[in-house]
Amino acid sequence: MIAIQNLNFSYKKNKPIFRNLNLHLHAGHIYGLLGKNGAGKSTLLKNMVGLIYSDSGAIRILGEDVKQRNPSLLREICFIQEELYLPNVSVEDFIKATACFYPNFDKEYFYELFREFHIPTNQKLGGMSYGQKKKFVIAFGLATNTKIVVMDEPTNGLDIPSKAQFRKILAGAMHADRVFIISTHQVRDLENLIDAVIVLDQHQIVLNESIESISNCLHFKRVLDLTPDILYAEKGIGGYNAISSNVDYEDSRVDLELLFNATIEKGENITKQFIKARHE
């Protein structure tokens, strides 16, 4: 559904953000894009939806070149940016002016999400709080019913109940012909939602694995002492939060934050487990 090949991008000469970056994303998945601040998550998403152009390389979505910005493709892409620039108009006026760009926009579904998020219907967009605006653009974005939904830090500004609602709503909006790509530095917000993890570091994609694959290859556990089988560990109260190779095929809950830190700090230890599993 999305194919990125040999992507090179830089804002300044000799300061690359990406070097020959490759990534393939498939329909029917909710991908979590993780990376340190400044790693280029937002830049990758903007390249992906055609808002900025790469120095070289290609990005194709649904078989079309994103750089061409063909209307037939743009109507199938919804990009929810972290920065919010909403006009001071009523909700209904915004829908009248914007929904026409999305042939599959579902107004009834939009207002259903509107009510579920408890957004005031009689208030102009400019007068809403940041959290209300964020919930509004999420509701509108999901109601477009596009095949590609790209979200940059969607949970910023949401309180804890709203984050739980977000996860519930997003899971319900997913179907086999759609793909969601969600960038965040708040790793915990994506737990129990995403089914694949992408980690961006050092100009490259250093991890792109399904939650199922991660659970099969790695074992997440708490231990009192470190042993030679531990691939990565962090000191906690009364012991360590650790990752080891899942040689005994034990079930464990994937700790996204621990996985992210391990991939950044001990990437080779982690990635070689997946390479090994593919050759067995």
Lookup result for tokens 């089988």: 229
- The whole-number average pLDDT for the span 239-265 is 91
pLDDT of residue 280: 64
Contact 75, 103 (CB under 8 A): yes
- The whole-number average pLDDT for the span 3-12 is 91
Strand partners, 4: 23, 59
Tell me if the pTM is above 0.85.
yes
> Is the per-residue pLDDT at 13 higher than 80?
no
Q: Which of 89-93, 106-110, 165-169, 185-189 has the lowest mean pLDDT?
A: 185-189
Q: For the chain, what are the domain ranges?
A: 2-202, 210-278
CB count in 10 Å sphere of residue 110: 20
> Is the per-residue pLDDT at 190 higher than 70?
yes
Percent of the chain scored above 70 by pLDDT?
99
pLDDT tens digits along 59-111: 999 999 999 999 999 999 999 998 888 899 999 999 999 999 999 999 999 99
Strand partners, 218: 245
> Is the per-residue pLDDT at 178 higher than 70?
yes
- The whole-number average pLDDT for the span 18-46 is 92
**Which of these, 150, 202, 263, lies nearest to 18 by C-alpha position?**
202
Distance CA 146, CA 103 (A): 9
Assign domain 2-202 to its CATH architecture: 3-Layer(aba) Sandwich (3.40)
Percent of the chain scored above 90 by pLDDT?
61
Please tell me whether residue 242 adopts helix, strand or coil conformation: strand
